[in-house]
Amino acid sequence: MLKEYKDNFYRDDSRLHLNNAGLSPISRPARDKVFYWAERFYQEGFYSDKDYMSDVFHSRVSLAKIIGCNSNEVAFFQSTASAISQLCFHFPLSTGDEVITWDQEYASNLYPWQEACKRSGARLVIVDSEKDYSTPVNNILSKITKHTKVVAISWVQFLTGSRTDLIALSKVTREKEIFLFVDVMQGLGLHPFNMKEWGIDAIAGGSHKWLTSPVGVGFLALDTKHIEKIKPHNVGAYTYGSCDDPTDLFCTPKKDAMKFEAGSKQVLEITALGASVDLILKTTVLEIEKEVLRHSSGLQRGLIDLGYEVHYNNSSIINFLPRSDSAARLAAIPCNFALRGPGIRLSPHAFNTDEDIEKVLKALA
């Protein structure tokens, strides 16, 4: 299975992909899907109408499977930020309410909630991580007050890969009727996840990291019990029905998450995302996680043996404090990486090989 997964990625030994937490190469099925729809649109135009819509629907179903929700709870957007904006600008917040988040959140999660708090008079409570960048759930729980309305955090932090225990967190948020929102961008497709079973109210993420598909798709999954309360941010033909409906000044929005998709969609990107998710589901997330953790823990051990200080939290992300020539040595392989937070961030995926990891460690020795 894993071999089949790896075979579905382009291999070029002169380029190492170790910034998959930034932008991962896309899978072969994702690439094929883009070509497929480009060709059909080129040849058929409107004659492909029904087929492309049913392929977009297939992507919605596949994505719902990997999220652990129903397909009618999933809405597509252009980015994670736009998916989060949809939720937070229409979430019923008012003066005195509190929204809790971590101090190391990626801007696509932090800024929308910060702005929603500004507009509504709510207070954004920023919780300190530990000195080693870990994000223990107790730090969040200790900040919950009777004013807390939302906890809005990333599952896996983009700087250091620190993971928050969502099951422990949701036990408390459910008991206290606090809305739990999770940015799953750095974890979905990489670690097993289940929105419903874990008691999470809403999640958002995007296509181009661990889901190995083209840049340009964000998604929101919102539990059915909240959908009616959240008004659509963008409004168009698809908010109410389809492009074939007569114009109506008194129509009511759809009852499912599709009401958040105002108009036509990014068919090539969304169907490519579905194809990549199918590959992940076929391989299984558990297999992918096992391989990723084998690579990341191998990197961690190797870097420690070489005398580097390493931040590692049992995810794909390793962050180490570089020496003066570390970046140049990596660039010379060449291997891509990111400068993030305390140091250099490396993030192997399951398609990476043992030789990739050895090459990096040799270059940094």
Binding residues vs ligand PLP (CB under 6 A): 79-81, 106, 108-109, 154, 158, 183, 185-186, 206, 218
Q: How far is the CB of 238 from ligand PLP (least distance, A)?
A: 21
- Comparison of 8 and 316: residue with beta carbon closer to ligand PLP: 316
Q: How far apart are CA 125 and CA 133, in angstroms?
A: 18
**Residue 87: helix, strand or coil by DSSP?**
helix
- Comparison of 22 and 253: residue with beta carbon closer to ligand PLP: 22
Q: Which of 284, 291, 266, 275 is nearest to 20 (CA)?
A: 291
- Cβ neighbours around 4 below 10 Å, total: 10
The H or E element containing residue 339 is: strand 338-340
Q: How far is the CB of 158 from ligand PLP (least distance, A)?
A: 3
Q: How far is the CB of 323 from ligand PLP (least distance, A)?
A: 26
- Comparison of 112 and 274: residue with beta carbon closer to ligand PLP: 112
Q: How far is the CB of 131 from ligand PLP (least distance, A)?
A: 21
- Comparison of 8 and 311: residue with beta carbon closer to ligand PLP: 311
- Comparison of 183 and 278: residue with beta carbon closer to ligand PLP: 183
For 18, 295, 365, the CA distances from 356, given in Å and listed in that order, are 9, 9, 14
Tokens 């194809």 -> residue: 275
- Cβ neighbours around 14 below 10 Å, total: 6
Q: Which of 82, 23, 56 is nearest to 233 (CA)?
A: 82
**Are the CB atoms for 251 and 97 separated by under 8 Å?**
no
Q: How far is the CB of 115 from ligand PLP (least distance, A)?
A: 14
